[in-house]
């Protein structure tokens, strides 16, 4: 079927849920990343602000996403991210992987990676690096 | 030949052109342009500025620059500026519970802080008490937890409200409540309101698109914010109950010119509400401060502050008919940043120092400076001290504050000021056409501007067009040091215990009656501050008061505009 | 006939939706099962220009029906980038009230890049959701462009939204939305200009419809019309959708409701109007006609997909398939026409 690549039937697109968990209201970084992913041909679903881990899990499952990118800037990550992982696993979604983006102290990074976060992208990481990671790491891409 | 009637030699223009083509041109040809010389706000920067540029922008000294403390206040909002009265060395600080925070405040005062703006944690900012389920994991993280007046008393124990020049907090969506807390604090300490000065940010409108701690829909939120201003007109006209912000708008992507335009639209919205209540512009305008921000381009920052003062003066005088100098002279608060990076945090010290220097040269009155680790976390004691010392050095060394508006008259700065002014005015016009401050929020225009700007900035960094040392020049891996400030985990426990204790020991009947009165006054459209003050004195919690408003006005529903 | 699957396994539902959306392995058998259901979910289309509060309205309606125990699914469609094919799907932000109900399911969908087109994909998703026992599927689109009109043609009830102050009160008409609306809504009716906006829509409708909003029975004893001008294509389409009181037993005149979705005001009234239209549609045989049309369209699509498969590009590929390549070369060299090519290929074609 003829048409531009964008209109052409595609295989499965990479789907990413971008989430803001907790009360932090800065989502500019999340929006910039979302645009970058959009430009790379991915589908991004944005949860909006002030979501609980339960709400994020439900969204991730309903939207059948490949990744959840959590924007974390307020330091609550050590509690909220492991909880997210646990809820996902409990609901049969162990294959949905979690990425953290924003501000995370060095020693917390290794702790998070040990608690089920696949990768941490510190503020200022180039969009290209994040896109490359997703393209390389998504099973069906 | 020189014409004695014209103030500028007309052949400067042709001479400048000649220099450009014949002297500079060949020299520059040998070097490829090392970057596009365009500022973050989109103004191109020339290799050289001359009197011909002043003529090009129609600069008239008396009309456009004038004198400090005189209309249009371009060169300074007060007659003496830094010469007689150096800027107020200020700190934004807060974390954990009141007990932990109190110790830090004392330290800051010891080393010379003249103003403390208390950083509140997210639950408090969003109107949730520390024991609310939405507060889990967030109590005391980005600021101190304040649930009741008891926390305020502890926070300022041993620190009389009048011991430093100003005390205050942000309280953007809880303006009347924080105002009441600071008023009640003075009462508890036995210090009358006339003897100390409170400073609040209390600017909910920018939250919706730039900061995210909004609670209610924009209209009632703006109305409640102006109640705090109105109360001060009557009871404490020397307080600063509202600081309208560019800071977060710029940081979020709007750029300093468009950010200023949006902030001015927000300021107009608040002023219009107050005028509708029957106050005069001369009464209310002096109580509003502005919070400009430009952290990418040093000279644009200076130009922005000067243009802002000029625009504000003309707006107050010509559109609103203000007559008092205090109403027309725009007082500014600034928070010094640069392009802070996550790698090699100590580099952020010179960055923030330079960013702050621009504000000092631009004539800001109240100056804060970001900690070198602030991109990462709440400042630790070391970075807080360095920030303070940097401010003191800026105030007293190098002669930065020896004369007023030192760059005024510079061909570059006056040209840039005119160009920035034009951008801001165009932005203001565009916002008017869109429908004003509320339309910017609800129609999605504000978010669009921010996202587009943020994306543009990211591209400029990724492409190298905007040089960033240790990021795209001599790149280093970002690293968030383990010395990042860590809150005391016991602080949350203490806070919860204290909250429970206050709730158990307060007079329930008084609290219920006071809350009912707040609800009634809100519903009747009266100024809520007196009733909130009564509630706060009875140890009602922040959450209990906010819940009344949430029930009445509903929570804000964000636009799906991305 | 299949029993509705338990709602409990949300993951299974989401997976099935993905399988069908992406035409992955197993999608055909899922759809085949769906076609054995006696009845599919009612499809409610909600459309209108941006800024009219569709998402909020959808959330309110969903909560309203879910509270009554019904299983409601939502498909929110957002435009994809024409350049990259990617999309940011933001309608979920408004899912507040309805999120509290276990018996609701929300899925975001991008508008481009679906095999067979958006309308067909949406129809297939309705089929799969019906398999899981959803009684209603609400489809929300941006309301600009041909694809929207197309989708809503297949809905069992289409709600068209507008708000006060959109300038031209009948901006909806510009996008062809006037022809597809079964119920019209002026949202944010607490704003100034709401009545004017509603009157604008009512006036536009009055130019085409006669009667009271809602169901209008044919007046007993009324004579059928004398032979007159044949209706225009547009009016004929409307009559097929809403009936002609002079000829049919009853006709539908789209009502214009005023409501404030964010405060849940008049939302029950909207729900009632939608219920009334669907009930009328069923009694008047329109639903049956639509179901038959749908089946026919699906057969044609399945047949074309099958017949064209040997000549179609692989997803994501930009190469012209080897089966057609030689003919393309000849056409480009001026040695053949596309019609000759088609005839030759049809002759050579091997059926599955």
pLDDT digits (tens, 9 = 90+) for B262-287: 999 999 999 999 999 999 999 999 99
Same domain, C178 and C129: yes
Residue C55 touches partner B, C-beta closer than 8 Å: yes
User: Does C87 sit within 8 Å of A43, measured CB to CB?
Assistant: yes
Residues 6+ apart with CB under 8 A from B275: B281, B284, B320
Segment B421-438 shows an average pLDDT of 96
C273 and C255 in contact (C-beta within 8 Å)? yes
pLDDT on residue C201: 86
Question: pLDDT at position C219, please?
Answer: 67
Chain A: residue whose CA lies nearest to B254: A28
> C331: domain range?
313-348
- Let me know if residue C226 belongs to a domain: no
Residue B501, φ and ψ in degrees, nearest 5: -65, -45
pLDDT band at C251 (very low <50, low <70, confident <90, very high): confident
Do C124 and C162 share a domain, yes or no?
A: yes
Q: Which DSSP string corresponds to A41-80? A: T-EEEE--SSB-HHHHHHHHHHTT-SEEEEEE-SS-HHHH
Task: Let me know if residue A32 belongs to a domain.
Answer: yes
State residue B484's pLDDT score.
Answer: 61
Q: Is the residue at C4 inside a domain?
A: no
Residue C15 lies in a domain: yes
> How far is the C-alpha of B296 from the C-alpha of B104, rounded, in Å?
31
Can you give the pLDDT at residue B155?
97
**Beta strands C104-110 and C42-47, pairing class:** unpaired
Please check the confidence at residue C227 and state whether its pLDDT lies above 60.
no
Question: How far is Cα C260 from Cα A87, in angstroms, rounded to an integer?
Answer: 36
Taking alpha carbons only, the member of C316, B539, B326 closest to residue A8 is: C316
Query: How far, rounded to the nearest angstrom, does the alpha carbon of residue A51 sit from its chain's CA centroid?
Result: 14
Q: How far apart are CA B308 and CA B74, in angstroms?
A: 8
Number of CB pairs, chain A paired with chain B, less than 8 A apart: 100
Give CA–CA dist B530/B176, Å, rounded. Answer: 9
Reference B415, options B32, B99, B57; nearest CA is B57
In whole angstroms, give the CA distance from residue C298 to residue B49. Answer: 71
Across residues B280-296, what is the average pLDDT?
98
Answer whether C94 touches B (CB < 8 Å).
yes
Given a contact cutoff of 8 angstroms between Cβ atoms, the answer to whether A40 and C86 are in contact is yes
CB B104 within 8 A of CB B129: no
**Exposure pattern of C325-344 as b/e (b: 16+ CB <10 Å)?**
eebeeeeeeeebeeeebeee
As given in the structure block, the two tokens for residue B390 are: 């940097």
How high is the pLDDT of residue A2?
Answer: 34
Are the C-beta atoms of residues C188 and C163 closer than 8 Å to each other? yes
**Residue C207 sits in the same domain as residue C334:** no
Residues of A in contact with C107 (CB under 8 A): 62-63
Task: State whether C33 and C74 are in the same domain.
Answer: yes
**Residue C321 CB-density burial (10 A; 0-12 exposed, 13-18 middle, 19+ buried):** middle
Best A124, A125, A132 residue to mutate vs chain B (most B CBs within 10 Å):
A124
* Distance, CA of A120 to CA of B121 (rounded, Å): 24
Mutation for testing the B interface, residue in A75, A101, A107, A122 having most B CBs under 10 Å: A75
Least confident of B396-410, B461-475, C110-124: C110-124
Q: Specify whether C327 is located in the same domain as C212.
A: no
Q: Is the pLDDT of residue C352 over 50?
A: no
B444: chain C residues, CB-CB within 8 Å: 51
Q: What are B109-143's pLDDT values in tens digits?
A: 999 999 999 999 999 999 999 999 989 888 998 89
- pLDDT of A55 reads 92
- Cβ–Cβ gap A44/C87 under 8 Å: yes
Q: From chain B, pick out residues whose CB is under 8 angstroms from the CB of A78.
A: 137
DSSP structural state of residue C41: P
Residues of chain A with pLDDT under 70: 1-11, 141
The sign of the CA dihedral B415, B421, B427, B432 is negative
Q: Residue B397 pLDDT > 90, yes or no?
A: yes
Lowest-pLDDT range of A39-48, C114-123, C195-204, C223-232: C223-232
Confidence of residue C48 (pLDDT cuts 50, 70, 90): confident
Domain membership of residue A86 as a residue range = 15-137
Are residues C78 and C162 located together in one domain of the fold? yes
- Residue C8 has a pLDDT of 58
Chains interfacing with A (3 or more CB pairs < 8 Å): B, C
Bridge partners (DSSP) of residue C75 are: C107, C139
Task: Count other Cβ atoms within 10 Å, centred on residue C317.
Answer: 12
Spatial separation of the C-alpha atoms in residues C154 and C139, rounded to whole Å: 11
C1 in any annotated domain: no
> What pLDDT is stored for residue C174 in this prediction?
56
- Assign residue C184 the CATH number of its domain: 3.40.50.300
Read off the pLDDT of each residue in B198-214 and give the average, rounded to a whole number.
95
**DSSP secondary structure code for residue B205 in this structure:** G
d(CA B265, CA B311): 12
Nearest CA in chain A to C100: A55
pLDDT of residue C221: 63
Instruction: Write down the architecture of domain B63-86+166-463 according to CATH.
Output: Alpha-Beta Barrel (3.20)
Assess if residue C297 is contained within a domain: no
Q: What is the pLDDT of residue C134?
A: 94
Average pLDDT taken over every residue of chain B = 94
Q: Report the alpha-carbon distance of residue A123 to residue B59 in Å, rounded.
A: 42
Measured distance CA(B337)–CA(B352) in Å, rounded: 4
In the predicted structure, residue B7 carries a pLDDT above the cut 90: no
Higher pLDDT, B321 or C241: B321
- Contact call for C110 and A47, based on CB within 8 A: no
Which of the pair, B195 or B10, is modelled with greater confidence? B195
Which residues sit opposite B336 in a β-bridge? B369
Assess whether C141 and C201 both reside in one domain.
Answer: yes
Q: In the predicted model, what is the mean pLDDT of chain C?
A: 82
pLDDT digits 0-9 by tens, C18-45: 999 988 889 889 999 988 888 899 999 9
Q: Report the pLDDT value the prediction gives residue B486, as an integer from 0 to 100.
A: 67
B524 Rama sector, left if φ>0, alpha if ψ -120 to 50, beta otherwise: alpha
Total domain count for chain A?
Answer: 1
Could you give the number of structural domains in chain C?
2
* B191 touches A at CB < 8 Å: no
Nearest Cβ partner of A122 from B138, B478, B562?
B478
Beta bridge partner(s), residue C314: none
pLDDT category, C83, cuts 50, 70, 90?
Answer: confident
pLDDT in the model for residue C5: 43
Q: Give the pairing type, strands A117-122 and A97-102.
A: parallel
Q: In the predicted model, is pLDDT for residue B307 greater than 80?
A: yes
- Nearest C-alpha in B relative to A78: B137
B23-41 confidence digits (pLDDT tens): 999 999 888 888 889 999 9
CATH code, A107:
3.40.50.280
Tens of pLDDT, residue by residue over B65-99, are 999 999 999 999 999 999 998 999 999 999 988 99
Global ipTM = 0.89
pLDDT tens-place string over residues B346-384: 999 999 999 999 999 999 999 999 999 887 777 888 999
3-state secondary structure of B345: helix
- Count of CB atoms within 10 A of residue B339's CB? 21
Same domain for C50 and C195, yes or no, is yes
Q: Do the domain assignments include residue A5?
A: no
| A126:B126 CB<8 A | no
Token code pair at residue B391: 């401010």
> Rounded to whole angstroms, how far apart are CA atoms C83 and B147?
50
Asked whether the beta carbons of B129 and B123 are under 8 A apart, the reply is yes
Q: Would you call A25 and B137 a contact, using CB atoms and an 8 Å cutoff?
A: no
Same domain, C95 and C48: yes
Q: What is the pLDDT of residues A92-103, one digit of tens each?
A: 999 999 999 988
The b-or-e profile of B443-465 (16+ CB within 10 A means b, else e) is bbbbbbbbbebbbbbbbbbbeee
Which residue among B126, B137, B341 sits closest to A79, beta carbon to beta carbon? Answer: B137
> Which chains neighbour B (Cβ–Cβ under 8 Å, 3 or more pairs)?
A, C
From residue B359, alpha-carbon distances to B143, B242, C72 in Å are 25, 20, 56
């Amino acid at each position: 079927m003829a048409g531009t690549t964008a209109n052409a039937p595609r295989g499965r697109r990479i789907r990413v849920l971008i989430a803001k968990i907790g009360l932090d209201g800065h989502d500019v970084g999340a929006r910039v990343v979302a645009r970058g992913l959009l430009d790379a041909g991915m589908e991004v679903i944005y949860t909006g602000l002030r979501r609980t881990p339960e709400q994020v899990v439900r969204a991730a499952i309903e939207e059948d996403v490949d990744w959840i990118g959590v924007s974390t800037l307020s330091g609550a990550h050590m509690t909220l991210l492991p909880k997210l992982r646990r809820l996902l696993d409990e609901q049969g979604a162990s294959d949905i992987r979690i990425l953290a983006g924003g501000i995370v102290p060095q020693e917390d990074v290794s702790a998070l990676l040990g608690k089920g976060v696949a990768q941490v992208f510190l503020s200022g990481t180039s969009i290209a690096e994040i896109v490359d990671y997703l393209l390389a790491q998504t099973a069906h891409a | 030949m020189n014409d004695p009637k014209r103030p500028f030699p007309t052949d400067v223009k042709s001479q400048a052109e000649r220099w450009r083509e014949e002297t500079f041109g060949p020299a520059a040809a040998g070097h490829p342009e090392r970057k596009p010389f365009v500022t973050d706000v989109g103004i191109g920067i020339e290799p050289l500025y001359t009197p011909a540029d002043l003529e090009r922008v129609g600069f008239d000294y008396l009309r456009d620059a004038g004198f400090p403390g005189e209309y249009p206040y371009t060169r300074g909002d007060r007659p003496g500026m830094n010469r007689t009265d150096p800027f107020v060395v200020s700190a934004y600080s807060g974390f954990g519970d009141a007990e932990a925070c109190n110790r830090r405040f004392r330290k800051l005062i010891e080393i010379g802080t003249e103003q403390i703006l208390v950083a509140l944690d997210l639950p408090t900012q969003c109107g949730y008490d520390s024991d609310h389920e939405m507060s889990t994991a967030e109590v005391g993280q980005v600021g101190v937890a304040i649930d009741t007046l008891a926390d305020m008393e502890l926070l300022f124990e041993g620190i009389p409200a009048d011991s430093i020049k100003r005390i205050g907090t942000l309280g953007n969506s809880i303006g009347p409540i924080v105002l009441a807390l600071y008023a009640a604090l003075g009462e508890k300490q036995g210090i009358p309101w006339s003897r100390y000065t409170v400073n609040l940010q209390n600017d909910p409108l920018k939250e919706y698109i730039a900061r995210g701690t909004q609670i209610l829909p924009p209209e009632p939120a703006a109305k409640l914010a102006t109640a705090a201003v109105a109360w001060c007109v009557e009871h404490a006209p020397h307080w600063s109950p509202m600081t309208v912000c560019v800071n977060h708008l710029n940081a979020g992507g709007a750029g300093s010119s468009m950010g200023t335009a949006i902030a001015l639209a927000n300021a107009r919205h608040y002023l219009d509400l107050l005028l509708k209540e029957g106050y005069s512009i001369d009464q209310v305008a002096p109580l509003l401060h502005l919070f400009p921000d430009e952290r990418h381009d040093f000279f644009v920052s200076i130009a922005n502050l000067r243009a802002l003062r000029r625009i504000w003066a003309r707006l107050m005088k010509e559109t609103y008919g203000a007559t008092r100098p205090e109403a027309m002279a725009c007082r500014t608060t600034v928070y010094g940043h640069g392009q802070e990076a996550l790698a090699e945090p100590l580099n952020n010290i010179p960055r923030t120092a330079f960013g702050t220097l621009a504000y000092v040269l631009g004539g800001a009155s109240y100056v804060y400076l970001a900690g070198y680790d602030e991109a990462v976390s709440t400042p630790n004691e070391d970075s807080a001290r360095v920030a303070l010392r940097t401010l003191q050095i800026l105030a007293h060394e190098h002669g930065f504050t020896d004369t007023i508006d030192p760059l005024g008259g510079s061909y570059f700065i006056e040209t840039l000021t005119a160009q920035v002014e034009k951008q801001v005015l165009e932005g203001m016009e565009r916002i008017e056409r869109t429908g004003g401050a509320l339309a910017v929020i609800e129609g999605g225009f504000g978010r669009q501007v921010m996202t587009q700007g943020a994306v543009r900035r990211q591209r400029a960094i990724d492409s190298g067009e905007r040089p960033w040392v240790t990021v795209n020049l001599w790149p280093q891996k970002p690293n968030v040091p383990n010395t990042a400030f860590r809150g005391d985990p016991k602080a949350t426990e203490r806070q919860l215990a204290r909250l429970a204790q206050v709730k158990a020991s307060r007079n329930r009947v008084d609290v219920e009656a006071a809350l009912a009165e707040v609800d009634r006054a809100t519903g009747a459209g009266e100024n809520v501050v007196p009733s909130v003050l009564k509630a706060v004195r009875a140890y009602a919690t922040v959450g209990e008061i906010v819940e009344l408003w949430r029930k009445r006005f509903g929570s804000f529903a964000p636009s799906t505009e991305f | 006939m299949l029993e509705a699957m338990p709602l409990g396994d949300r993951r299974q539902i989401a997976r099935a939706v993905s399988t069908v959306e992406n035409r992955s392995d197993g999608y055909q058998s899922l759809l085949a099962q769906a076609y054995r259901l006696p009845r599919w979910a009612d499809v409610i289309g909600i459309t209108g220009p941006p800024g009219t509060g569709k998402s909020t309205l959808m959330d309110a309606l969903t909560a309203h029906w879910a509270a009554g125990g019904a299983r409601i699914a939502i498909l929110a469609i957002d435009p994809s980038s024409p350049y990259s094919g990617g999309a940011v799907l933001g309608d979920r932000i408004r899912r507040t009230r309805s999120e509290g109900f276990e018996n609701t399911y929300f899925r975001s969908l991008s508008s481009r890049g679906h095999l067979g087109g958006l309308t067909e994909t949406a129809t297939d998703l309705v089929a799969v959701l019906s398999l899981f026992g959803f009684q209603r599927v609400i489809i929300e689109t941006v309301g600009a462009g041909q694809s929207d009109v197309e989708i809503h043609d297949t809905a069992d009830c289409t709600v068209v939204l507008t708000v006060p102050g959109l300038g031209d009160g009948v901006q909806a008409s510009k996008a062809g939305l006037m022809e597809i609306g079964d119920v019209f809504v002026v949202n944010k009716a607490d704003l100034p200009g709401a009545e004017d906006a509603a009157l604008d829509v009512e006036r536009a409708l009055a130019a085409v419809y006669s009667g009271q909003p809602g169901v209008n029975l044919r007046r007993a004893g009324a004579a059928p019309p004398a032979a007159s001008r044949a209706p225009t294509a547009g009016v004929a389409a409307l009559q097929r959708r809403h009936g002609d009181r002079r000829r049919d037993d009853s006709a539908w005149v789209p009502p214009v409701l005023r409501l404030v979705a964010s405060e849940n005001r008049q939302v029950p009234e909207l729900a009632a109007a939608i219920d009334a239209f669907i009930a009328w549609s069923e009694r008047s045989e329109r639903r049956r006609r639509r179901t038959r049309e749908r089946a026919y369209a699906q057969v044609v699509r399945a047949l074309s997909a099958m017949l064209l498969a040997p000549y179609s590009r692989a997803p994501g590929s930009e190469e012209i398939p080897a089966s057609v390549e030689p003919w393309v070369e000849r056409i480009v060299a001026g040695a053949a026409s596309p019609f000759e090519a088609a005839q030759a290929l049809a002759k050579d074609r091997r059926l599955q």
